[in-house]
């Protein structure tokens, strides 16, 4: 038991020191997030899981009554102009890197076109600092209704007390292996006191199929190569672990996070049904 405690201590110490080093090298120290106001204390975070369509069927009016945060390719959906999201979060580097798959380049071009042509209301787009000089951001900035704000997506780990302070300073976040991680983190730092999550199936592992002819995976690397089974489950492990880190951070910030998805594997947050 003593050996285990010593191991945990030195692991946390190493992670804390490494996180501070990564922040010094990678983060923008002047990052800040404007609060959305004292009266706007509830937010609906819309993931891009298959159950989001069902969640709209069950809870559309409830979702529309909150500040809405959406992710990834939501602007390509028919619901985009119905929901009229207040916040749009992107985190995957494929959205701004020049070298990515042809499929993603095509989808990215469609996303830019839809964001520019369909956004007739005021909306804030949150994207990592690494995208600041990208062609993607330059094109989006031509849309006067969209305000682009940059955030630090530097992974931070270590002692909980140190981690929470660094999170609060907007210098880093839990490992952003899924866009829902930075979305929840940003919602907390934007000042929302109650966060409802929808569309968070997180059932990626169900999409893995293996037979004699091929192995199908739900994820790909930036170079287009497939992940292997151990890569997939390590990525999922880190994503699900990040939700427990976010749960601790939310409690530190006095924020309640509720998982209102009609179907979800996320077990870190209280699961509810909207009445």
Q: Which pLDDT belongs to residue 218?
A: 54
Band of residue 214 on the pLDDT scale cut at 50, 70, 90: low
Q: What's the burial of 69, exposed, middle or buried (CB within 10 Å: 0-12/13-18/19+)?
A: buried
Neighbours of 239 (CB within 10 A): 20
Pairing of strands 87-89, 42-46: unpaired
Residue 133 pLDDT level (bands cut at 50, 70, 90): very high
Mean pLDDT computed over 93-120: 92
Total number of residues shown for the chain: 275
Task: Give the C-alpha distances (Å, rounded to integers) separating 147 from 30, 78, 95, 135, 161.
Answer: 18, 22, 17, 16, 33
Q: What is the mean pLDDT of residues 5-27?
A: 91
Q: Is the pLDDT of residue 148 over 70?
A: yes
Region 189-218 average pLDDT? 80
pLDDT of residue 1: 66
Mapped onto helix, strand or coil, the DSSP state of residue 147 is strand
Q: How confident is the model at residue 207 (pLDDT cuts 50, 70, 90)?
A: confident
Mean pLDDT computed over every residue of the chain: 90
Task: Please give the distance of CA 139 from its chain centroid, rounded to a whole number.
Answer: 22
């Amino acid at each position: 038991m003593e050996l285990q405690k010593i191991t945990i201590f030195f692991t946390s110490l190493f992670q804390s020191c490494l996180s501070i080093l990564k922040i010094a090298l990678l983060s923008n120290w002047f990052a800040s997030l404007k609060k959305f106001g004292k009266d706007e204390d509830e937010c609906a975070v819309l993931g891009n899981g298959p159950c989001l369509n069902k969640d709209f069927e069950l809870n559309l009016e409830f979702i529309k009554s909150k500040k809405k945060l959406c992710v990834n390719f939501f602007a390509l959906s028919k619901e985009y102009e119905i929901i009229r999201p207040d916040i749009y979060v992107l985190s995957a580097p494929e959205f701004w890197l020049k070298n990515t798959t042809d499929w993603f380049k095509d989808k990215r071009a469609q996303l830019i076109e839809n964001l520019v042509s369909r956004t007739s209301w005021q909306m804030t787009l949150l994207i990592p600092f690494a995208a600041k000089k990208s062609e993607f951001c330059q094109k989006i900035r031509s849309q006067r209704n969209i305000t682009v704000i940059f955030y630090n997506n530097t992974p931070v780990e270590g002692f909980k007390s140190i981690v929470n302070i660094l999170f609060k300073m907007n210098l880093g976040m839990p490992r952003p292996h899924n866009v829902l991680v930075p979305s929840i983190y940003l919602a907390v730092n934007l000042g929302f006191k109650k966060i409802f999550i929808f569309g968070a199936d997180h059932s990626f592992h169900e999409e893995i199929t293996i037979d004699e002819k091929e192995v199908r995976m739900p994820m790909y690397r930036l170079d287009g190569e497939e992940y292997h089974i151990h890569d997939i489950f390590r990525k999922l492990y880190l994503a699900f672990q990040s939700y427990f880190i976010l749960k601790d951070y939310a409690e530190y910030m006095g924020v309640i996070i509720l998982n209102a998805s009609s179907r979800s594997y996320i077990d870190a947050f209280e699961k509810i049904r909207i009445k």
